[in-house]
Every structure is written in structure tokens, then in C-alpha cells.
């Protein structure tokens, strides 16, 4: 599997956040898929011979994918890129079924998914396109500011269920998680809830509220002073959510999630973000992926608050 290398970068501010999970990009216009008449018009207007790249999957990556697709129109106006969310599992399933050119995934592909791909004659080829520092977020009024991975595991498995056990208010902890089809959910389960132990059978507490999107996490955090959740750093709004400093263990320093700490590896909950293709890509898809991993694509990564692979 092909993987990208990355080097230290300079910091860039979060310049914008896009929204929406299903978008048709055509002639510099992003049209929500829910507006089906507009989508049909855009499709009808495109010449039948025009190349279209189907790009689907991770909701963590969808904002980046939209921004890349829009910017790439400046590079190749003859190429249309259809970007769809739905979760990492949905992206991988579409790749296996040969209905997309690129699957966006916020976790590493599973062995059973590789087996299913091979059974259908597909060889998943991996490209690292960005790094994400996964942020732990609470309400701005919450006095708790620091947590260890062990404490986070105990919180999300229900062993710690009151904020007073962590030095906070005497109030029940409300757990928020992404839905199970989300790659972010899978990563958090494996690396935080199970603390990286492949033999662990720990699961989220049954009272955990499964949210369909980052917007759902943010909305509940802002509304509920006792809630705790996790989200990609690029989706966090520090004006309305409190970021928690995280330590790998009780003897390690507490580190805030930032582009810099994600890049240097000091923040303990950071992960690669991937794009997968069916075999080695060629022509337009190969050129697009090379552009994403290059300076222009990685500049957009930094602008949206994620960690770029190279200095943009």
C-alpha cells in the first residue's frame, strides 16, 4: 500500500469551515444534494464526455474533500468531483462495490474489508492525505481542564459517571459519541476506550448518545453543561466548546490539541486521514491525489485546522 511521508510544517489559522454532507460540485457552485432539482440541472448541463470523480466516505474528511474539490476546479476546470459523506464504512463499502473512485476514511481499513475487496477483485490502495488531532470537548462552563487516556476510557465505559470524581461539579456525565459507522467512532473505541489494547473487549457505556455528525456533537456540547464528546480538531469552535488537555498517562504531560502538537506527536490522540482507491490510480485520479498531497492541497489542510503532511 502506498503511503505519503510528511515533514514539519508551519502553523496556519483556521480560515473557514464548510458544511454539508452531500454536495455536487459544478462550475464553481456547491449544490446540496437535498436540492434534487438543482443537482439534476447541474448533471444535465455537464457534457456526457466530461470526466467525473466520485469521492465518498468519512464525515471527518468531507469538509476537506469539498474544499479540495472546489480549489481543484481552478487547476482542471474540465474535471467534475462529486463529494459525498456518510461515514468511513460507507466509503469503503462503495469502493469494494466499485461505485466510487476515491473512498475517504478516517481510520485504517479493516482486515475484513480488505478480504471483501479482494473477493470482489479490488485491491485497496492507501494514501495518507492529512493528520487529525482528535479533540476532547466539554461545555465552556465545565471546570475540568485535564484528563488522561485512562480517565477518558473510564468515562466512556461508564466507570466514572459523575464529574465530581474528576474535580468537577456534582453532576452526571453525559456521553457523546459519533455513530458506529463513523471512522472517528472506531478510532476512539480502539485507541481511547480500549487504550490501544487489541485484546480489550471494552465498549462504550450503553447510555452514550450517538450523534450523526460533528454538528450534533457541537450542538449538544453547547447546550448541555455536563456533556463530553470528541471531534476532529478542524470541526471544533473554541468560542463555543472547551478543549481538554490530554495526557497519555498520569506521569505524562497534559497537551492541548493543536496543529503543532498533532504534527510533533506530543498530543496523544492524533491519527492519519486516508483516501483509498481500487488499485493504483491513473490519469485524472492520480493527478488529483498528487495535488492533494502537494503544497496547494496541504495549504487547504492547514487552513481548515487539520495537520498538513508537508509545509504548505
> Quick check: do 22-131+273-303 and 133-270 share a fold?
yes
Helical pair 283-293 and 295-303, crossing angle rounded to 10 deg: 60
Q: Tell me the pLDDT tens digit for each residue of 210-220.
A: 998 888 999 99
* Cα–Cα nearest to 204, from 217, 219, 185, 225: 185
pLDDT value at residue 311: 64
Q: Where exactly are the structural domains of the chain? A: 22-131+273-303, 133-270
Residue for grid cell 467534475: 80
pLDDT value at residue 11: 34
User: Which residue numbers in the chain have pLDDT < 70?
Assistant: 1-49, 311-312
Q: Report the distance separating Cα 266 and Cα 275, nearest Å.
A: 25
pLDDT value at residue 22: 34
pLDDT value at residue 279: 96
* Cα–Cα nearest to 173, from 192, 188, 191, 151: 151
Q: Report the distance separating Cα 284 and Cα 68, nearest Å.
A: 14
* Cα–Cα nearest to 133, from 265, 310, 293: 265
Q: List own/partner pairs for 117-122 with CB under 8 A and 24 or more apart.
A: 117/278, 120/96, 122/95, 122/96, 122/98, 122/278, 122/279
pLDDT value at residue 26: 34
Q: Are 273 and 58 in contact (CB under 8 A)?
A: yes
pLDDT value at residue 49: 61
CATH code of the region 133-270: 3.40.190.10
Residue for grid cell 481552478: 74
Q: What is the pTM of this model?
A: 0.74
Q: Report the distance separating Cα 123 and Cα 222, nearest Å.
A: 43
Q: Are 64 and 275 in contact (CB under 8 A)?
A: no
Task: Give the CB-side neighbour count of residue 152, counting CA atoms within 13 A.
Answer: 33
Q: Tell me the pLDDT tens digit for each residue of 31-51.
A: 333 333 333 323 334 445 678
Fold entry, domain 22-131+273-303: D-Maltodextrin-Binding Protein; domain 2 (3.40.190)
Amino acid at each position: 500500500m502506498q503511503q505519503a511521508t510528511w515533514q514539519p510544517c508551519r502553523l496556519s489559522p483556521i480560515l473557514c469551515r464548510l458544511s454539508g454532507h452531500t454536495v455536487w460540485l459544478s462550475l464553481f457552485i456547491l449544490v446540496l444534494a437535498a436540492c434534487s432539482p438543482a443537482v439534476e440541472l447541474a448533471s444535465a448541463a455537464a457534457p456526457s464526455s466530461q470526466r467525473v470523480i466520485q469521492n465518498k466516505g468519512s464525515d471527518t474528511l468531507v469538509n476537506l474533500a469539498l474544499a479540495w474539490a472546489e480549489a481543484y476546479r481552478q487547476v482542471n476546470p474540465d474535471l467534475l468531483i462529486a463529494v459525498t459523506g456518510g461515514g468511513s464504512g460507507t466509503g469503503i463499502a462503495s469502493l469494494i462495490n466499485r461505485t466510487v473512485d476515491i473512498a475517504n476514511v478516517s481510520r485504517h481499513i479493516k482486515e475484513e474489508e480488505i478480504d471483501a475487496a479482494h473477493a470482489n477483485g479490488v485491491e485497496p490502495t492507501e494514501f495518507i492525505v492529512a493528520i487529525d488531532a482528535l479533540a476532547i470537548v466539554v461545555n465552556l462552563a465545565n471546570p475540568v481542564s485535564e484528563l488522561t487516556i485512562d480517565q477518558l476510557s473510564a468515562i466512556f465505559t461508564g466507570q466514572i459517571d459523575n464529574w465530581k470524581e474528576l474535580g468537577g461539579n456534582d453532576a452526571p456525565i453525559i456521553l457523546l459519541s459519533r455513530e458506529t459507522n463513523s471512522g472517528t467512532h472506531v478510532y476512539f473505541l480502539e485507541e481511547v476506550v480500549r487504550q490501544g489494547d487489541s485484546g480489550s473487549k471494552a465498549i462504550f457505556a450503553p447510555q452514550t448518545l450517538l450523534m450523526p455528525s460533528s454538528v450534533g456533537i457541537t450542538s449538544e456540547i453547547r447546550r448541555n453543561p455536563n456533556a463530553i464528546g470528541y471531534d476532529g480538531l478542524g470541526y471544533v469552535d473554541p468560542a463555543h466548546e472547551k478543549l481538554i488537555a490530554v495526557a497519555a498517562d498520569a506521569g505524562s504531560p497534559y497537551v492541548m490539541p493543536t496543529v503543532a502538537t498533532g504534527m510533533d506527536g506530543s498530543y496523544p490522540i492524533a491519527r492519519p486521514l486516508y483516501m483509498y482507491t481500487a488499485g493504483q490510480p491513473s490519469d485524472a485520479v492520480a493527478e488529483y491525489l498528487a495535488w492533494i498531497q502537494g503544497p496547494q492541497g496541504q495549504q487547504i489542510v492547514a487552513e481548515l485546522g487539520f495537520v498538513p503532511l508537508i509545509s504548505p
